[in-house]
């Protein structure tokens, strides 16, 4: 598994937690779809539009927070911090 695939998998628990908070139950298919969309480099605006139907007014804030977390995780991979934290 590449470091970028690991990055997206590290996002999965956060995405799952937030979706559960919004919908009141775990939606594995939706979480898989969101993780897959980030792996496919779907733009934030497209992601917000796709999630608007499900999350309504919360879609924009969810995507914003997810993008911040994704950027943070990418920077950890780029700087090698994710490797050092496992030592």
What are the domain boundaries of the chain?
Answer: 3-84
The pTM assigned to this predicted structure is 0.80
Domain spanning 3-84: which superfamily?
A: PWI domain (1.20.1390.10)
Question: In the chain, which stretches have pLDDT less than 50?
Answer: 87
Query: Could you give the C-alpha distances from 26 to 10, 50, 71, 76, 82, in angstroms and in order?
Result: 17, 18, 25, 28, 27
In the prediction, which pLDDT does 3 show?
61
Cβ atoms 67, 5 nearer than 8 A: no
In the prediction, which pLDDT does 79 show?
84
In the prediction, which pLDDT does 75 show?
86
Taking the C-alpha atoms of residue 60 and residue 86, their distance in angstroms, rounded to an integer, is: 33
């Amino acid at each position: 598994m590449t470091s970028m695939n690991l990055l997206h998998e590290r996002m999965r628990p956060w995405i799952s937690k937030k979706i559960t908070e919004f919908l009141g139950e775990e939606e594995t298919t939706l979480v898989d779809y969101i993780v897959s969309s980030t792996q496919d480099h779907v733009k934030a605006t497209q992601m917000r539009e796709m999630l608007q139907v499900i999350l309504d007014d919360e879609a924009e804030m969810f995507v914003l927070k997810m993008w911040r977390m994704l950027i943070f995780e990418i920077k950890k991979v780029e700087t090698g911090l994710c490797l050092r934290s496992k030592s």
